[in-house]
């Protein structure tokens, strides 16, 4: 696990997203797919935000994707960090922060994977890393 240098707030979980965070503790990346339109969306919601025809279902995703856009925030008291949008394989674009320390070698189209890093005794949080 990467040592956390930034302070992260307590993760805002709710009844609808609890399964995501439970799986995250085991390092599994869950997304929701709609049985009607067959699409995965992001962030996870029960009623499909794309077709509104059905309740979506959890499924595990490889977490693999590629960079759609990125930036490195230089003005940060705890050092630079990277943010971006990653396009998940077969799925949606996800707004995500890169794992602490990953600020070099970022390019549009580069392969990525989702990771969960521990940010407190209770919580892990979702980050991207270069594949």
Rounded distance, CA 101 to CA 105, Å? 11
Contact flag: residue 126 with other proteins (CB under 8 A):
yes
User: Could you tell me the smallest distance in angstroms from the CB atom of residue 14 to other proteins?
Assistant: 7
Rounded distance, CA 100 to CA 107, Å? 17
Size of the site for other proteins (CB under 8 A): 44
41-60 positions binding other proteins, by CB under 8 A = 41-45, 49-50
Contact flag: residue 91 with other proteins (CB under 8 A):
yes
The answer to whether the beta carbons of residues 47 and 16 sit under 8 Å apart is: no
Rounded distance, CA 49 to CA 39, Å? 10
Helices (H) and strands (E) counted in the chain, each on its own, are 1, 8
Binding site residues, other proteins, CB under 8 A: 6, 8-9, 11-14, 17, 21, 39-45, 49-50, 68-76, 81, 83-85, 87-88, 91-97, 108, 119, 125-126
């Amino acid at each position: 696990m990467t040592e956390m240098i930034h302070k992260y707030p307590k993760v805002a979980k709710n009844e609808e997203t609890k399964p995501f965070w439970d799986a995250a503790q085991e390092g599994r990346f869950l997304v929701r797919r709609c049985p009607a339109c067959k699409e995965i969306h992001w962030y996870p919601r029960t009623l499909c935000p794309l077709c509104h025809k059905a309740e979506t279902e959890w499924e595990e995703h490889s977490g693999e994707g590629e960079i759609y856009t990125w930036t490195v925030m230089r003005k940060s008291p705890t050092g630079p960090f990277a943010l971006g949008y990653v396009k998940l394989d077969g799925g949606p674009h996800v707004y995500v922060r890169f794992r602490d320390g990953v600020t070099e070698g970022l390019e549009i189209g580069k392969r990525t994977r989702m990771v969960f890093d521990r940010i407190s005794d209770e919580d892990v949080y979702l980050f991207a890393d270069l594949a």
